[in-house]
Amino acid sequence: MLIFGVLYATLLRQRAVNTPIPAAPFSRAFRSHGSGSMVRLFDNLLLWTIVSIALVAAFYGPVLWAERVMNVLLSGLRVW
């Protein structure tokens, strides 16, 4: 409830600012080590996507395969 109160108060309150607002500073990207091959290797999105999919498959694959082979059906909670 409180978050909606703060949101409405922020949107509905009109506060005038008399002083000029400075521009926000932006940083610039630069290469400190030149264009080395290691920088390009670690800055590759496709590589990290493939590595993450391979790691997920390596860790979850055997468990999911064992469940598939044993045909484990999760029937929910049974009362004995």
Amino acid sitting at position 28: R
What pLDDT was estimated at residue 17? 74
More confident residue, 36 or 7: 7
pTM metric for this prediction: 0.42
Q: Where are the domains of the chain?
A: 42-72
**Residue type for position 44:** N
pLDDT tens-digit readout, 50-76: 999 999 999 988 888 877 777 666 555
The CA angle 25-26-31, to the nearest 5 degrees, is 140
Q: 32-44: per-residue pLDDT in tens?
A: 655 667 767 777 8
* Sign of the CA dihedral with 9 first, then 12, 13, and 15 last: positive
